[in-house]
Amino acid sequence: MMQKKICYVTEVDHDGRVAGAIINDLKILHILEKFGEVDLIYLQAKRYRSLGLALCIYVFQILGSLLKPYSIYFSRSLIASFLLVSLGKFNWKHKRIVHQALSVPFPSSEIGFLEVNMLESFVRYHMYRFLEVCVLPNVDVITVAARDYAKELMEIGVEKDRIAVVPFYVENEFFKQSIKYDVGEPFTFCYVGGFQRYHDLSYLVEAFDLFIQSRKNVRLYLVGDGPQRPNTEKEVARRKLVDKIRFFGALSHSRVPSLLSRVDSFIILMRKSGISTSLLEAAAVGKAIITVRRQKDITLNRYFRHMKEMYFVDDLSPTKIAKAMELLYTDSRLRNNLAKGARKIAQEHFSEEIVVRELENLVRNNLQEPPSV
């Protein structure tokens, strides 16, 4: 395949703390570099300490990129895709645009989880909705993490053949970890991710409190950071669980495989739609996973079955979550079967090799320049 110049544009601030969004960007960049020379444009809010100034510079960088010989843009930014689509009407159409919608096609659907006031929520919702309707039906390709997310796109006019499935992938280092079949001492549950409103860590803390009423030799590790961490720490202190629940803070991504390999079970409770990267990483390591079944997002059920590769609780009832923790603690056969099943699914659907193949097909099909008019 011909080596081409590719531009990757994202609203994720790569000067900030390395978290899930940056890690996902870096993974895609790693693969795109196999197909050509890749340049990165990102929103530098931390560097300029002003969102308004950072946005202006971001827009000028995108406009300036049009003068460079890029054949294809990968955009994880509605603003960038809007600019590229709009300028495509002025003879820039030879530059192909791939918009990454990932597992949440509509950012407007996430407004309720943001830590902002009502006025800002209102403004953001209508701004996002305007951009979604203007941008998504008009880019060359939209990538989603699973086929289930294509339906919403088609409902606003995106043609089916413009939607490509490019799943999240887990690095090989996670698959190299040995599955832990022997129970730890103490038995350890673990959460890895952001401390955000949609992760519902308060339910997890309450469930753990219920669970340890009859089981004392257990621990809960909370790995990550975010705006809800102070509230979670206060809740842990209020319940007098500081000697049972350990906060690790934000670890470097390279340390996560080793940490996951040492724990006995992984638990993540998330209300918003989407596939959690940390959940897939836990599956790749071979952990028995507890998560919540989301009625409006059944994507996980396409891959993982209840009591076969994962344990699904029906809702965020702390009593039900505690019951699931008790079951995995006491039933080693179930725990080990879930661990083996989860790794098998991760290998079949979320390995780097699979994503390389999907992106290679996408790049090959979209690097062909359209005929001149």
Flag whether 373 is in a domain: no
pLDDT of residue 149: 86
Residue 297 has pLDDT above 80, yes or no: no
The answer on 359 and 341 residing in a single domain is: no
Residues 50 and 192 in one domain: no
Instruction: For residue 220, give the DSSP letter.
Output: E
pLDDT recorded at residue 18:
66
User: Mean pLDDT of all residues in the chain?
Assistant: 88
262 shares its domain with 294: yes
Question: Is residue 158 domain-shared with residue 41, that is, in the same domain?
Answer: yes
Percent over 70 (pLDDT), the chain: 94
With the C-alpha atoms ordered 248, 250, 255, 260, is the resulting torsion angle positive or negative? positive
- In this prediction, residue 372 has a pLDDT band, given cuts at 50, 70 and 90, of very low
Sorting pLDDT into bands at 50, 70 and 90, what band is 91?
low
Report the share of the chain in percent with pLDDT over 90.
Answer: 56
Please check the confidence at residue 126 and state whether its pLDDT lies above 90: no
DSSP state of 267: E
pLDDT in tens, 321-345: 999 999 999 999 999 999 999 999 9
pLDDT at 311 over 70: yes
pLDDT of residue 185: 82
CA angle, 171 as apex, 245 and 325 as ends, to 5°?
A: 30
| Whether 324 and 186 share a structural domain | yes
Same domain, 251 and 298: yes
Report whether pLDDT(111) > 80. Answer: no
Same domain, 265 and 305: yes
| The pLDDT of residue 198 is above 90 | no
Assign 119 a pLDDT band (cuts: 50, 70, 90): confident
- CB-CB neighbours of 222 under 10 Å: 24
Residue 40 burial by CB count (10 A; 0-12/13-18/19+): exposed, middle or buried?
Answer: middle
Residue scoring higher pLDDT (347 or 149): 347
Q: Output the pLDDT for position 371.
A: 44
Report how many domains make up the chain. Answer: 2
**Quick one: pLDDT at residue 373?**
39
Average pLDDT over residues 67-95: 83
Tallying the residues shown for the chain, one arrives at 373
Domain identity same for 197 and 291: yes
Residues 161 and 240 in one domain: no
Instruction: Reply yes or no on whether the pLDDT at 298 is more than 90.
Output: no
Claim to verify: residue 275 and residue 207 sit in the same structural domain: yes
pLDDT for 352: 93
* Confidence (pLDDT) at 90: 58
Task: Pick the most confident of 118-132, 186-200, 268-282, 338-352.
Answer: 338-352
Q: Is residue 146 part of a domain?
A: yes
Q: Is residue 76 domain-resident?
A: yes
Tell me: pLDDT of 285 over 90: yes
Q: What is the pLDDT of residue 92?
A: 55
Give yes or no for a contact between 273 and 249, defined as CB atoms under 8 angstroms apart.
Answer: no
* H-state helical runs in 185-228: 201-211
Q: Which of 97-111, 175-189, 198-212 has the lowest mean pLDDT?
A: 97-111
In-domain check, residue 221 = yes
- For residue 372, being part of any structural domain is answered with no
- For 129-182, what is each residue's pLDDT tens digit? 888 888 999 999 999 988 888 888 888 889 999 999 999 999 999 999 999 988
293 in any annotated domain: yes
371 found inside a domain: no
Do residues 134 and 188 share a domain? no
Mean pLDDT for the stretch of residues 255-279: 91
pLDDT of residue 109: 78
Higher per-residue pLDDT: 207 or 272: 207
Helix (H) or strand (E) holding 31: helix 20-32
Whether residues 136 and 250 fall in one domain: no
Cα distances from 37 to residues 7, 41, 84, 312, 354, in angstroms, run 8, 14, 20, 43, 21
Per the DSSP assignment, residues forming a β-bridge with 306 are 310
Q: Which domain holds residue 279?
A: 172-349
What CATH code is carried by the domain that includes residue 204?
A: 3.40.50.2000
DSSP one-letter code for 179 = P
